[in-house]
Amino acid sequence: MSDRAGRPDRLRVAVAAPLSEENRARVQELEPRVDLVVDPSFLPPMRWPADFAGDPDWRRTDAQQRAYEAAIDSADALYGIPDVDPGALARAVRANPGLRWVHTMAAGGGGQVRAARLTDTELQRVLFTTSAGVHGRPLAEFAVFGVLAGAKDLPRLNRQQRDHTWSGRWTMGQVHRQTVLLLGLGGIGRKVAEALHALGATVIGTSRRDADVSGVTTGVPGVTTLVHPDRIADVAPTVDAVVNTLPGTDATEHLVGKRFLDALRPGATLVNVGRGTVVDEAALLDALDSGQVGFAALDVFETEPLPVDSPLWDHDRVLVSPHTAALDGAEDRLIAELFAANATRLLDGHDLVNRVDTVEFY
């Protein structure tokens, strides 16, 4: 034990998600007080960077499963939710009364914590953190791509190229003259705001806490105005594009629904890089069919994988991305570095960054 109010001077971490030898070394270089408990043979091979669930056909032997769970049950902290499985997380929390902290690989790891259905006492005992912020720049690039694609009428260009049609010229939208409504100003939203502002767009952001009655105060770089989420339909007629970066919670479910979509300026662009449940897909399809939404770039969906019979697949105003916009070759390293920084904060008695709100689970 250390002499700091009885806090342990080392942190025993069970590596419950794939972590390369290089990144294990990086964690221990950044925070030498971490003891990593890891046996790579207990972890599924990754098929691509940040594939923390790993090969779905891979299985542990019974002996490996017992050893894997024993390592988890002896740890102060977990690097990853075991097998990205809420049920396995619940088992780990209940089997290990000394567990202090679980770091989730996803920016939206709060949803996985919620799905574990832990008791209030368990949620108070264990700290949960996410990898929010690691995915900010890749998702900001996709958001800008979507806004640009809508402004330049990518569906029309695709149709004309497919049909070998050389039409007359037409005036394309100019992002630097557009107003974009940005839903969510967390780590991802702030990167999106910076990127859109750099292109000259006027950005309206949403905030439940910071927007005043007039909606004109903002301390967020790149954002000119803040509006409460309850008022987004009021500003919808003034915007050319909407970018969602919000997490999936009870408060955000179907926030982008019929009332909001009906109020949009006709032909507006919608980009979703937050959670699929924020957008009412039935209402979106109606808006796409009517032209109220001119283009939708969607990286997330209400049900994933997107069902093969979903009309979104074949809609010529929709770009479907299979939840891959956040994937970056550097993601594994960035998550490891974020974990190491939080381990230092925990050992030094400071608050952790990216704490999961265990009321709304974001």
Q: Which residues are catalytic?
A: 275, 304, 323
3-state secondary structure at position 63: helix
**In degrees rounded to 5, what are phi and psi of residue 330?**
-95, 0
Cis peptide upstream of residue 8 (ω within 30 degrees of 0): no
Burial of 47 (0-12, 13-18, 19+ CB in 10 A): exposed
**Whole-angstrom distance between the N-terminal and C-terminal Cα of the chain?**
33
How far is residue 151's CA from residue 145's CA, in Å, rounded to a whole number? 10
In the block, tokens 């970018």 appear at: 243
8 A C-beta contact, residue 240 and residue 261: no
HSE at residue 294, side-chain half, CA atoms within 13 A, is: 23
8 A C-beta contact, residue 196 and residue 147: yes
The token duo for 67 is: 């050893």
**In degrees rounded to 5, what are phi and psi of residue 275?**
-125, 145
The closest of 58, 57, 128 to 68, measured between CA atoms, is: 58
How far is residue 272's CA from residue 300's CA, in Å, rounded to a whole number? 6
How far is residue 34's CA from residue 348's CA, in Å, rounded to a whole number? 12
